[in-house]
Amino acid sequence: MELDLTKAKEFYSKMLLIRRFEERCVEFYSKQKIRGFLHLYIGEEAIAVGIMNALTPEDAVLATYREHGQALAKGVSANSIMAELFGKQEGTSRGRGGSMHLFDANTRFYGGTAIVAGGLPLAVGMALADKMMKRNRVTVCMFGDGAVAEGEFHESLNLAALWNLPVLFVCENNRYAMGTALNLTESETDIYKKAASYKIDSKQIDGMDVVEVAKAASRAVEDIKDGKGPLFLECLTYRFRAHSMFDAELYREKVEVEEWKEKGPLVVFQKRLEEMGLWSEMDVKELEDEIKTIIDEAVEFAENGTLEPIEDLEKFVYSEVSNG
Amino acid sequence: MDNTITYREAVREAIRKAMREDERVFLIGEDVGNYGGSYAVSRGLLDEFGRERIIDTPLSESAFTGAGIGAAMNGMRPIVEIMTVNFSLLALDQIINNAASMLHMSGGQFNVPLVIRMATGVGNQLGAQHSHSLEGWLSYIVGVKVLTPATVQDAYDMIGLALSDPDPVLVFENSLLYNSKGSLDTKSTPIPIGKALVHRPGKDITILTYGINLFKALEAAETLAKDGIDAEVIDLRSLRPLDDETIMKSVAKTHRVVIVDDGWKSGSISAEIMARINEQAFYELDAPMARVCTLEVPLPYAKHLEDAAIVQVDKIVDTTKKVMVQS
């Protein structure tokens, strides 16, 4: 992966889009236009952008409940995400999913899982299907450090390795499972070592550095498509915001958050571009304006969206096509 | 073609047929391959279809059930075998939070054409962790369908019906039925999912049941006939959806109801059926409804205790007679 001006602009604007999109979400949460649980990705943007950069539209992604950024980076439209958050019919899940359950068949974005390790077995199955049908695709499974404590994490890694499946496990280690620090819940806090124990090639990388994530992801996806089986990336990161909008953040010091903000993905990337002499070539104002337009449009789209009729509430419990 | 085979063979033949006809179908579960299935259902399939399609798994119910769901979402038609219904509890997260919810949660985008087969049932002195009947309880879940084949014909037909269904279907095979024999017509048109079947028409009282208790109910009906009671015995076949139409039609004919259910009484499928009859056919009733269920104990090992806990023919006979005199 070559980092030139075009790529630099792409990375920066995608991370900025996620950041600004979610900041706008906070506004609309305060205005009670967005309800339910809202888990923000702010601080973790480099992971989604770096990982998705390695994928083709044919590759699938299973995401977490903190997935606005993952969805935007995979190419799900800001309009449909915002409409979903507003509970509208034009949303990714016709208003049935909300923030935690974004789905988009067009971009092969398979949610949106709110049971922390619940997506891992699905990723194993998705990859198994690709292998059986000899389709050269990768399934990416994103999950947080909290998922590591669940049995499904271990069961799934074992199966993926045993069957040599084309799946990329991406652990977004932001150091807290909701409000409990990793060292209070795990005997081994280096998560990649757990994956390695299943004979999966595993790496720990700086999840704040989009370039490092993108490089690791590109190499991993290439290896997987070459038939090297599952791979595991532990991306060290930090969320700048509370776990959800209901979280009083009693479990960590403000100074810790401030320290991490200085290592934030946008800051890190700017420094990198400055060192490369590319930053001066970036028109950040222009990018901000473009992003503002995208988000304004998304908000307008969501505001003007329609409510799913109550008569259709019981649709999609079962498929409409009956067995033939 | 008409032949007599065992329930076990009927299930196996249905799986074999499906796998021959559709390359997307595969079988996955504990001991399905080399061992030949813990109840010998899949014996021989590994030789015919190979390790790629008859997939032995580790003891990881949640992961291999979830893998079935993921594969179904990605174009396959998996059959997941869970060794016993008790073990399905380890996969409930996947069944409820993923398989059953996916279509709705994704606004209709991702359906899960998955079949999960499980052995169920009581009466083998297997104790509290290997012999329960939780199919009524699992039929509580919105988004899945629940089938309980009692006959050889249904054991065969329901696998095909379940595989052609676009949504997750749970098929409960009673382990005591695997050796039972019956006639199989592979050319007949299967009775659809969600349809109950009147097995023995009668005019005096309706006995509603499913699975292995169909045969206990039929035996009870013969005994009752000697006392001049003409019982109608209905095989529910499908616990979700329930066939309200057939149930209410029978109630309107006999005006009396006994439900025979392998589950515990509290919160059981029999409780649901009673509630529906109350809602839809209360004024048809000439007597309070009654039911025969498993006693509310974790299933004991000792034969005399187990026998006392579970549904028996004489309990059905006694309960039916009591309802008959209450009018």
- The average pLDDT across B271-284 equals 98
Is the Cβ–Cβ distance between B33 and B56 less than 8 Å? Answer: yes
- The average pLDDT across A192-210 equals 98
Among B130, B132, B199, B255, the one annotated catalytic:
B130
Report how far residue A52's alpha carbon sits from residue A214's, in angstroms, rounded to the nearest whole number.
8
Any domain includes B189: no
Best B30, B104, B114, B171 residue to mutate vs chain A (most A CBs within 10 Å): B104
Contact list in B for residue A120 (CB cut-off 8 A) is: 63, 66
| pLDDT tens digit sequence for A218-256 | 999 999 999 999 999 999 999 999 998 888 899 999 999
Amino acid at B259: I
State residue A113 phi and psi, 5-degree precision.
-110, 130
Return the pLDDT at B131: 86
Contact list in B for residue A159 (CB cut-off 8 A) is: 57-58, 60, 63-64, 67
> Do B201 and B164 fall within a single domain?
no
Among B9, B13, B30, B61, the one annotated catalytic:
B61
Active site residue B104: no
DSSP string, B182-200: EEEETTSPPPPTT--EEEE
> Do B252 and B277 fall within a single domain?
yes
Any domain includes B188: no
- Cβ of A323 within 8 Å of Cβ of B98? The answer is no
- The average pLDDT across A277-293 equals 96
- Cβ of B63 within 8 Å of Cβ of A156? The answer is yes
- Cβ of B104 within 8 Å of Cβ of A105? The answer is no
B81 forms beta bridges with: B29, B117
A97, A139, A155 ranked by CB distance to B106: nearest: A97
- Of A78, A15, A79, nearest to A266 by C-alpha is A15
Rounded mean pLDDT of chain B?
96
| pLDDT tens digit sequence for A134-166 | 999 999 999 999 999 999 999 999 999 999 999
| pLDDT tens digit sequence for A91-140 | 999 999 999 999 999 999 999 999 999 999 999 999 999 999 999 999 99
Active site residue B199: no
* Alpha-carbon radius of gyration of chain B: 20
What does DSSP say about strands A176-177 and A180-181: parallel, antiparallel, or unpaired? antiparallel
| pLDDT tens digit sequence for B85-96 | 999 999 999 999
- Cβ of A315 within 8 Å of Cβ of B94? The answer is no
Contact list in B for residue A116 (CB cut-off 8 A) is: none
Best B73, B106, B163, B191 residue to mutate vs chain A (most A CBs within 10 Å): B106
Report how far residue B288's alpha carbon sits from residue B265's, in angstroms, rounded to the nearest whole number.
16
- Cβ of B105 within 8 Å of Cβ of A103? The answer is yes
* CATH architecture of the domain formed by A5-296: 3-Layer(aba) Sandwich (3.40)
What does DSSP say about strands B2-6 and B25-29: parallel, antiparallel, or unpaired? unpaired
> Do B153 and B29 fall within a single domain?
yes
- At A278, is the secondary structure helix, strand, or coil? coil
- Cβ of A103 within 8 Å of Cβ of B66? The answer is no
| pLDDT tens digit sequence for B189-246 | 999 999 999 999 999 999 999 999 999 999 999 999 999 999 999 999 999 999 999 9
Q: Which helix (H) or strand (E) holds B281?
A: helix B269-281
Report how far residue A195's alpha carbon sits from residue A178's, in angstroms, rounded to the nearest whole number.
22
- Host domain of residue B297: 197-326
> Do B15 and B156 fall within a single domain?
yes
CA atoms within 13 A on the CB side of A109: 29
Is residue A80 exposed (0-12), middle (13-18) or buried (19+ Cβ within 10 Å)?
buried
pLDDT greater at residue A321 or residue B185: B185
> Do B228 and B277 fall within a single domain?
yes
How does residue A324 score in pLDDT terms, banded at 50, 70 and 90?
very low
- Cβ of A122 within 8 Å of Cβ of B69? The answer is yes
- Cβ of B58 within 8 Å of Cβ of A133? The answer is no
- Of B324, B15, B298, nearest to B156 by C-alpha is B15
Is the Cβ–Cβ distance between B260 and B133 less than 8 Å? Answer: no
Is the Cβ–Cβ distance between B15 and B42 less than 8 Å? Answer: yes
ipTM: 0.94
> Do B117 and B228 fall within a single domain?
no
> Do B10 and B109 fall within a single domain?
yes
The chain A residue lying nearest B80, using CA atoms, is: A125
Report how far residue A126's alpha carbon sits from residue A123's, in angstroms, rounded to the nearest whole number.
5
Q: What share of chain B has pLDDT > 70, as a percent? A: 99
- Long-range interactions of A279-285: CB distance < 8 A, separation 24+: A281/A5, A282/A5, A282/A8, A282/A9, A282/A12, A284/A12
Q: What is the CATH number of the domain that holds B252?
A: 3.40.50.920
Alpha-carbon distances of B275 from A24, B231, B278, rounded to whole Å:
49, 21, 5
Whether pLDDT at A323 is above 50: no
> Do B236 and B149 fall within a single domain?
no
Is the Cβ–Cβ distance between A18 and A66 less than 8 Å? Answer: no
**Angle, helices A78-85/A284-303, rounded to nearest 10 degrees:** 50
Best A318, A320, A322 residue to mutate vs chain B (most B CBs within 10 Å): A318
| pLDDT tens digit sequence for A70-83 | 999 999 999 999 99
Whether pLDDT at B97 is above 90: yes
> Do B227 and B78 fall within a single domain?
no
Instruction: Give the number of domains in chain B.
Output: 2
The chain A residue lying nearest B65, using CA atoms, is: A121
> Do B286 and B160 fall within a single domain?
no
Is the Cβ–Cβ distance between A154 and A122 less than 8 Å? Answer: no
- The average pLDDT across A1-7 equals 90
Q: What is the CATH number of the domain that holds B143?
A: 3.40.50.970
- Cβ of B98 within 8 Å of Cβ of A118? The answer is yes
Report how far residue A129's alpha carbon sits from residue A166's, in angstroms, rounded to the nearest whole number.
10
> Do B133 and B218 fall within a single domain?
no
Any domain includes B263: yes
Report how far residue A320's alpha carbon sits from residue A257's, in angstroms, rounded to the nearest whole number.
49
- The average pLDDT across B77-86 equals 96
Q: What share of chain A has pLDDT > 90, as a percent? A: 96
- Kindly list the domain boundaries of chain A, sorted by start residue: 5-296
> Domain boundary residue among B150, B183, B216?
B183
Contact list in A for residue B97 (CB cut-off 8 A) is: 114-115, 118
Return the pLDDT at B2: 57
> Do B15 and B161 fall within a single domain?
yes
Report how far residue A240's alpha carbon sits from residue A44's, in angstroms, rounded to the nearest whole number.
8
**CA of A32, closest CA in chain B: separation in Å?**
22
